[in-house]
Amino acid sequence: MPSIQSPADTATLSRHHERIRRRGVQPVVYLIVRAVLEPLIRIYFRVCARGTEHIPKRGAMILAANHRSFLDPFVIGVCVRRPIYFVAKRELFDKPLQGWLLNAVGAFPVRRGESDEEMVETALRLLAQGKPVVIFPEGTRIRRGPLGKPRRGVGRLALESGAPVVPVAVTGTENARRGWRIRPAKARLRFGRPLTFPRVEHPSPHLAGEVTARLWPCIQLQWEWLGGLPPARRAAIVGAGPMGTALATLFARAGLEVELGCRTAADCERVEAARERTQLPDSVKVVTTQELSVEEADVVTLAVPASALPAAVAQIGERIPERACVLAVSKGLVPPLGTRPSAYVGERVPARGVVVLGGPAHAAEAVEVGASVVLAGKDPHLRQQLANVLADAGLDVEQTDDVTGTELAGTAKNAAALAAAAAAPRGANAAGAAAARVFAEAQRLALKRGARPETFAGLAGAGDLVATALAEGSRNRRAGELLAQGLSAREIPAVLRETAEALETVPLLARQLGEEGLEASATARLAELVRGAIAAEEWSATVHGRRGRFRRGRVEASLGG
């Protein structure tokens, strides 16, 4: 919501506009500031610019650039051998001396979030005087991920002024600031060939938008040449189960070209036959995993159980391009060692990075009514790239760099759901106690390995556990109920016709807890139930009460071996 300005504030901004229109930069101030700042900027930020030969040496021009940092106008300015004029948020002009200094070196204010005709008029006046104006079409700083979406203002300026537009890409400046501290960072720029458009006195919003749509890919091209992260355009999904199919639908909804990979041709036919029921769009191409165009994908999604990750990675891992992001959906541990999915995949594929999907995201509901999910990854740009896609598909997305916590929280909620269902015949109190103890033991493991407590308390942990406990179609809850009925872990997959990851994960989790020397009697007893070492009745009897109090002490590292 735009802020309300007093008449005095408006008058002050108008004075800055009028001063820059009539006088331009203050020559003495400009020369002094440039003499001081240019060598500092070039050295401290190691400015590397390409394509400067495309910058017109005289006459009006619009420098249209992406915006990563407050430093962008300055690093662009040192590459242009004459004064440039650029917009700056109006708040920077609130302090009189600071506002005067900015105005003196070529800045003029813009009211962000509003249709600022005064700013447009100033830019047009400067261009009519043959001066260079820097415009940031995104309208605000986009610090992470791919470039943002442009606004049509740059198209309007190009049409009304008739000035050539130089596409500019800037990268690296987003790394210069941490809090109030300015750090040395390498700033790289690339200038493209100027583009010109016929002059139109009063272009319609549609026409201005069309011109912007033609300009922006030129800036995007310079950005990608600098190694900037491109927007996600194509997705390859391995695994056509409920979650894989749901993600295919969501990615298609966000405008991506999507291929959904099935294990066999028969599975392809099954998915095709269920298109209408699963709401899978016609644009999604259903193929076998061998036929997936993994080499062309920007996002490769591994929507398979953790136990199937080794086979999936062996099949397509070497084909994943270095520029791609891998999205790991598995909520469990990878056998035989109990490796976290992101660690397993990251060590074996050449992709740019791995991002993990966590949180309560029941597949069918995510497609029909949306969901709140967690994206965890070490690379903030990759997280933002995927967050943009999922947000465009209608999901609410939280981001975190706590990969360990997110993955172990997903593992913990599956194990806790299994424990609760297996103990449920003894009553709701027993089910709650079993879930709480298993969940708490997994959290201790996560904290020892560097996770943050708030991850388990948030969407990825408690939120996901509640959703699993309530969901009628929860595979892990159903697996626990079947264990309580006396079925063995080997018999359950045939009954479910799906994989309940907790059956594979609980013994691995117990082993990891034992190797860390953590007290984990609840998980250890649950692992014994899964392996068939104890009966369901014995598990239920040991959940709570004097007779069945969990054994204290440490679990030996041999558990699960």
322 φ/ψ angles, rounded to the nearest 5 degrees = -65, -30
Does residue 378 have an active-site annotation?
Answer: no
**Pick from 504, 208, 183, 465: which is nearest to 332 by CA?**
504
Structure tokens at 430: 């027993």
Report, as ranges of residue numbers, the positions in the chain whose pLDDT lies below 70.
1-8, 113, 544-561
**Pick from 188, 197, 220: which is nearest to 62 by CA?**
197
Among residues 57, 378, 413, 448, the one annotated as catalytic is 413
Contact 544, 430 (CB under 8 A): yes
Q: Rounded distance, CA 108 to CA 422, Å?
A: 67
Under DSSP, the state recorded for 460 is I
Strand boundaries in 90-180, DSSP class E: 107-110, 132-135, 165-171, 177-178
Residue 6's pLDDT is what? 53
Residue 557's pLDDT is what? 38
Task: List all residues 6 or more positions away from 510 whose beta carbon is below 8 Å from its beta carbon.
Answer: 520, 523, 524, 526, 527, 555, 559, 560
**Pick from 404, 398, 461, 403: which is nearest to 435 by CA?**
461
Q: Rounded distance, CA 509 to CA 515, Å?
A: 10
Residue 546's pLDDT is what? 42
Q: In the chain, count H helices and then E strands.
A: 23, 17
Beta-bridge partners for 299: 235, 325
Residue 9's pLDDT is what? 72
Contact 159, 137 (CB under 8 A): no
**Pick from 157, 16, 34: which is nearest to 91 by CA?**
16
**Pick from 348, 397, 356, 359: which is nearest to 378 by CA?**
356
Distances (CA, A) of 166 to 13, 169, 190, 225: 28, 10, 10, 16
328 φ/ψ angles, rounded to the nearest 5 degrees = -100, 125
Contact 33, 108 (CB under 8 A): no
Contact 338, 366 (CB under 8 A): no
